[in-house]
Structure 1
Amino acid sequence: MVMASQTESSGEPASNRAAGRAPARPGTPSLLRELNDRAALALLLDGKSLTRAQLSELTGVSKVTVAQMLARLEERGLVTAVGSNSGGRGPNAALYSVVPSSAYVAALYVEQGLVSTAVADVTGRVIAEVREDPTSGAGDPVELIRCAVDRACQRAGVSVSMLSAFVIGSPGVVDPVTGDPRLAINLPAWHEGVLGGLRGALHKNVLIENDVNLAAMAEHAVGAAAGTSDFVLLWLDVGVGLATVLGGRLHRGVTGAAGEIGWLAVPGAPVTSDVR
């Protein structure tokens, strides 16, 4: 009875408030329009040009609704008509595609003695890539990343302000709560506070992720593990790393150290005592 009265008094389930979860958004017309627009955009991001009829069939909404969706996406500069399909009866149907220049992202790999930066458009096509050997693994990591991004954007002919997001892969443990790097043996300057510094310097969303975890996400999306919900990726490089995907989601562990198996004791092998 107490639970029922709490729910009725606030219009929100008490369990949601107790767990700190945000209340579910109601199915308003604006939310439905947003969901429809995202569905159409996701289909076009696969790289194919589609007609209104094809989008209607794939999304399950009417052609009238599809026309409204495309009009909104065109108004925002996200999609455009790129030609026509003359294979059917009646007038030619317009083909729609994503505008590649509507958004750009930067992806970086940071390791001792290496900073690799790639700039890609919204379709995922890499338009510029720069690999550099910094003089030292120490120094200011924020300035190092900012300079690397500047050079990659110059080669791509894209302003840094046009980048929508940055993803940085590096060895080491990433805090699952704050997103900050916590332990990167080969990168002494790669520590807590770097993420906030990068977001302040670049003025955009920045994500730092363990490099092996990113490799597992890529394999799950388009590689050997595509269509597989549960798998393990073993990485052999300077060290030994591992990433685990369970139920289609990356398993990080409570402290973010899941997969850090470099010093894992192996049955039958001598235990290393000097780990300085």
Structure 2
Amino acid sequence: MTLIHLDRGDAAVTVDPTNGCRLSSLRVHGAELLRQGERYGAFPMVPWCGRTAHGRFRNGGEVHQMPLNSGPHAIHGTARDNPWRTARADETSAVFTYDLADPWPYPGRVTQMVELGEDSLTLTMGVETYGDSFPAQAGWHPWFLRNLGIGKDAEIAFSAAWQEERGEDHLPTGRRIEPRPGPWDDCFGMPDGVEVTLTWPGALELTVTSRGEWVVIYDEQAEAVCVEPQSGPPNGLNTHPRLVTPIDPLEISTTWSWRALA
């Protein structure tokens, strides 16, 4: 297993290309910020984000079936379950690629760039087609530790224009409602761009931003809090399709910036 390590200032990142190109560690000022374990860290969601209803989506007249891996639905894409290739890496940045393959029905390539700054981390993802156009989504699923072991639990702050009403099947119903208090496993709309701040009182403040307009907040587990910037809502292959074409790839980025509070 070849891990990629990036270091800059008081921050260090470890990327595991063989395990879905997930960030397996993010340490800032000596504190680990990500939940540990092969299913956790922070992984790219691509070519779809969240749940796709019953694993089915349509592209024109074609209906495609993805494997079900979350009850009756297909969740978080295919790239997190497969190895990626390291295209290049140096002390503070790296680029990785993944070729879309079965069970995804369309050939294409995903590229992820990881760039570590003095007090920030920027992730950029692109999806391009090798042939036919297809609907796709991209985003990230970080598992931030609820408690860093040096103080109080993380506090979440954000201001959303709306919340996607969640049905009993955990999918958006199509209704937009006023944001409700947590706990959440919910998608929020931020048309001016995603901005969510996690504060570990007395330790660290971290802000997740993205030019993407959608974010899923998940805080129903005791161990972690997830802030997931993405290019569309859950089940978006069906309800909010964004076509990847030969002249119009899908691109999205997110920056996590931090400052010490102690």
TM-score range, shorter chain: under 0.3
Structure showing greater relative contact order (alpha-carbon pairs closer than 8 Å, 6 or more residues apart): 2
TM-score norm. by structure 1 comes to 0.25
Higher strand content, 1 or 2: 2
The higher radius of gyration belongs to 1
